[in-house]
């Protein structure tokens, strides 16, 4: 098994950070213009009354925290001008207002232009302040109910939910105000104006509840372009852009009604690109091939082409909670991070999983980008409120090449067959005609080869002269005692067999006579009545030590039963003495 080391460094994990952050509510930006990228996020307090705070993290520490008027829907950061120092602004979509912060201070506020009421609704509101009778209220409210709820203004929507006895107070709240529809902002994103550089002016693009998309001027924050996302009711909740505003751009509007619309330059009404069967959870646009990766309910991750054709769908192991784009510009790699229930985060390159990361628990928002001085940081905020930073190792390699081939790609290339030569054709003809003969001859040769192998094996077997003889089950060991120059050699022949007696054994000892003088060179009768036979041999050493070979032989055998080589001990020190 391949040794797996993580490609990620666990930089920081704060389990009880208590953050409640939704997707698209966290960004990274050099908001103080010092090259040190901060993490900016919206922390929502789901307590009694919903509250939200805009928090700024520098490294692992919280450096700023300011309350927001209402619950924001999304957070973006962009450069609105290129005056030194380069300071990006932070745009927070709060209800009907788009708040812009610069240098972490409120800078500008854009309010979504109002839309006129339907005639029925405006008629009702003209009459409402003048009625006092409860039955009249009922009639008017019924009139309001006849209008589609989503096209009503927010005040009418609220009025319909108020109990009848409180209705007078509710109406009095709005006295003197002209009723109009102020759609709230549901999503926002940025669109580069005229340059693809890292630091370049971008326009803010905001989408509203009633399906309108506004492109704002970066400097004056006035509406540059206004378009409706589709000819049917659609409420956008994610916007993705590509291209440049001044040249050519494309805005993908992902709507809660499970369709995705596209808006191009000059269009005042978008077109539906595709629809999905299940509810869309999150979507990420890949600028490389202009495809859109969409996560839908039911553990589906799909990819749609620029033209809206579905390219692939994969089932994930758990329900998807959020997506994020991991762009590694240095290696020109774009991965999609998929956060799932149970805290698994899978990184997809195309349809293949290239890496698996685990978060402390289910991630609620993911973000990848430069943080502080480090370029490749993955920020994970979990549902339980943990804040986790993971740094991608410099040496990380996603083995994208090997992944490419492992996929179930249909091989269209034909096999590399060699040309049909004359020789080959003749051989085939011969084989066809004499199939039987060829087979028989082959079998014959095979049997012959096996016989030769068996013979060679048999021939080799008796040559075995290791310390143990398996056939005879004899063991021979030797022990040398004494310091020299006279040694005692004790030979020990052991019968390992339980059934066979060892009879008629004798031993021959062989050594260099110039080195050793043995008391006897042949031991004639090695008796095996007693299991151990010790035969002391006196050796006299005068020169360097050497081997003494022992051959144990049977009376009628022409091969030794067992042999041994004995290394004699060193006697050099005797010379010194």
User: What tokens does 101 get?
Assistant: 């912060």
Query: Which of residues 61 and 414 has its CB atom nearest to another protein in the complex?
Result: 61
User: What tokens does 207 get?
Assistant: 């989408």
Query: Which of residues 41 and 301 has its CB atom nearest to another protein in the complex?
Result: 41
Contact of 476 with 531, CB cutoff 8 Å: no
Q: Which helix (H) or strand (E) holds 356?
A: strand 352-358
Q: What is the C-alpha separation between 321 and 341, in angstroms, rounded?
A: 7
Count of Cβ atoms closer than 10 Å to residue 144 Cβ: 19
Going by the DSSP 8-state scheme, the letter that residue 112 receives in this structure is P
Measured in degrees and rounded to the nearest 5, phi and psi for residue 551 equal: -115, 125
Query: Which of residues 10 and 81 has its CB atom nearest to another protein in the complex?
Result: 10
According to the binding rule CB under 8 A, does residue 488 interact with another protein? Answer: no
Query: Which of residues 9 and 200 has its CB atom nearest to another protein in the complex?
Result: 9
Q: Closest approach of Cβ 361 to another protein, in Å?
A: 22
Whose tokens are 């993290």? That residue is 57
Q: Closest approach of Cβ 30 to another protein, in Å?
A: 13
Q: Closest approach of Cβ 169 to another protein, in Å?
A: 52
Query: Which of residues 254 and 378 has its CB atom nearest to another protein in the complex?
Result: 378
Instruction: Pick the stretch among 3-11, 332-340, 456-464, 554-562 that binds another protein (CB under 8 A).
Output: 3-11
Contact of 374 with 360, CB cutoff 8 Å: no
Q: Closest approach of Cβ 389 to another protein, in Å?
A: 7
Q: Closest approach of Cβ 331 to another protein, in Å?
A: 10
Q: Closest approach of Cβ 374 to another protein, in Å?
A: 6
Q: Closest approach of Cβ 35 to another protein, in Å?
A: 8
Query: Which of residues 59 and 504 has its CB atom nearest to another protein in the complex?
Result: 59
Preceding peptide of 484 cis, ω within 30°: no
x/- binding map, residues 108-127, to another protein, per CB under 8 A? Answer: --------------------
Query: Which of residues 373 and 433 has its CB atom nearest to another protein in the complex?
Result: 373
Query: Which of residues 12 and 352 has its CB atom nearest to another protein in the complex?
Result: 12
Handedness of CA 359, 361, 365, 371 (dihedral sign): negative
Q: What is the C-alpha separation between 192 and 286, in angstroms, rounded?
A: 15
Query: Which of residues 10 and 404 has its CB atom nearest to another protein in the complex?
Result: 10
Count of Cβ atoms closer than 10 Å to residue 232 Cβ: 11
Q: Which residue in the set 45, 51, 53, 59 belongs to the binding site for another protein (CB under 8 A)?
A: 59
> Is residue 330 left, alpha or beta, with left meaning phi > 0 and alpha meaning psi from -120 to 50?
alpha
Q: What is the C-alpha separation between 440 and 434, in angstroms, rounded?
A: 10
Pick from 512, 530, 522: nearest CA to 566: 512
Q: Which residue in the set 60, 242, 258, 403 belongs to the binding site for another protein (CB under 8 A)?
A: 60
Q: What is the C-alpha separation between 370 and 367, in angstroms, rounded?
A: 10
Distances (CA, A) of 96 to 78, 112, 413: 20, 6, 58
According to the binding rule CB under 8 A, does residue 10 interact with another protein? Answer: yes
x/- binding map, residues 158-197, to another protein, per CB under 8 A? Answer: ----------------------------------------
Q: Map the footprint of another protein across residues 354-413, applying CB under 8 A.
A: 371-376, 389, 391, 393-395
According to the binding rule CB under 8 A, does residue 351 interact with another protein? Answer: no
Instruction: Pick the stretch among 10-18, 211-219, 256-264, 533-541 that binds another protein (CB under 8 A).
Output: 10-18
Q: Closest approach of Cβ 62 to another protein, in Å?
A: 13
Query: Which of residues 271 and 393 has its CB atom nearest to another protein in the complex?
Result: 393
Count of Cβ atoms closer than 10 Å to residue 392 Cβ: 20
According to the binding rule CB under 8 A, does residue 330 interact with another protein? Answer: yes
Handedness of CA 76, 81, 82, 87 (dihedral sign): negative
Contact of 306 with 290, CB cutoff 8 Å: yes
Interface residue list for another protein (CB under 8 A): 9-12, 35, 59-61, 330, 371-376, 389, 391, 393-395
């Amino acid at each position: 098994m391949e040794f797996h080391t993580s490609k990620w460094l666990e930089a920081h994990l704060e389990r009880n950070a208590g953050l409640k952050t939704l997707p698209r509510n966290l960004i990274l930006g050099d908001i103080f213009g010092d090259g040190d990228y901060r993490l900016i996020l919206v922390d929502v307090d789901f307590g009694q009354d919903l509250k939200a705070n805009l928090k700024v993290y520098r490294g692992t520490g919280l450096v700023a925290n300011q309350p927001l008027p209402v619950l924001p829907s999304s957070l973006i950061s962009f450069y609105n001008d290129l005056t030194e120092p380069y300071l990006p602004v932070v745009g927070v979509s709060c209800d009907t207002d788009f708040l812009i912060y610069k240098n972490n201070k409120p800078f500008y506020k854009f309010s979504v232009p109002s839309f006129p009421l339907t005639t029925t609704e405006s008629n009702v509101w003209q009459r409402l302040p003048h009625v006092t009778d409860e039955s009249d209220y009922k009639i008017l409210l019924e009139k309001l109910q006849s209008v589609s709820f989503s096209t009503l203004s927010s005040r009418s929507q609220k009025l319909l939910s108020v109990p009848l006895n409180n209705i007078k107070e509710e109406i009095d709240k709005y006295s003197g105000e002209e009723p109009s529809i102020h759609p709230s902002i549901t999503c926002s994103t940025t669109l580069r104006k005229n340059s693809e550089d890292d630091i370049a002016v971008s326009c803010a693009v905001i989408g509203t509840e009633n399906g309108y998309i506004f492109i704002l001027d970066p400097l004056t924050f006035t509406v540059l372009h206004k378009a409706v996302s589709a000819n049917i009711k659609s409420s956008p909740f994610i916007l993705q852009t590509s291209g440049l505003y001044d040249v050519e751009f494309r805005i993908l509007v992902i709507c809660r009604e499970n369709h995705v619309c596209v808006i191009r330059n000059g269009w005042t009404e978008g077109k539906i690109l595709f629809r999905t069967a299940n509810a869309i959870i999150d979507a990420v646009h890949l600028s490389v091939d202009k495809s859109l990766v969409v996560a839908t309910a039911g553990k589906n991750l799909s990819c749609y082409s620029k033209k809206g054709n579905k390219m692939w769908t994969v089932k994930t192991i758990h329900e998807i909670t959020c997506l994020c784009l991991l762009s590694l510009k240095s290696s020109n790699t774009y991965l999609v991070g998929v956060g799932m229930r149970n805290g698994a985060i899978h990184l997809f390159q195309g349809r293949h999983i290239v890496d698996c990361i685990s978060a402390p628990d289910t991630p609620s928002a993911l973000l990848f980008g430069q943080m502080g001085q480090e370029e490749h940081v993955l920020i994970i905020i979990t549902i339980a409120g943990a804040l986790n930073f993971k740094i991608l190792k410099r040496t990380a390699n996603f083995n994208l090449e090997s992944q490419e081939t492992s996929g179930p790609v249909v091989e269209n290339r034909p096999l590399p067959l060699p040309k049909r030569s004359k020789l080959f054709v003749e051989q085939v003809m011969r084989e066809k005609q004499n199939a039987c003969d060829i087979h028989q001859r082959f079998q014959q040769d095979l049997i012959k080869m096996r016989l030769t192998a068996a013979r060679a094996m048999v021939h080799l077997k008796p040559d075995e002269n290791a310390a143990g003889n398996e056939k005879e089950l004899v063991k021979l060991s030797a022990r040398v005692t004494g310091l020299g120059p006279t040694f005692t050699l004790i030979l020990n022949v052991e019968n390992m067999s339980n059934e066979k007696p060892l009879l008629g054994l004798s031993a021959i000892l062989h050594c260099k006579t110039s080195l050793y003088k043995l008391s006897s060179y042949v031991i004639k009768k090695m008796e095996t009545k007693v299991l151990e036979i010790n035969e002391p041999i006196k050796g006299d050493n005068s020169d360097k030590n050497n081997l003494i070979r022992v051959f144990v032989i049977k009376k009628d055998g022409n091969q030794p039963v067992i042999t041994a080589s004995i290394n004699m001990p060193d006697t050099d020190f005797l010379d010194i003495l």
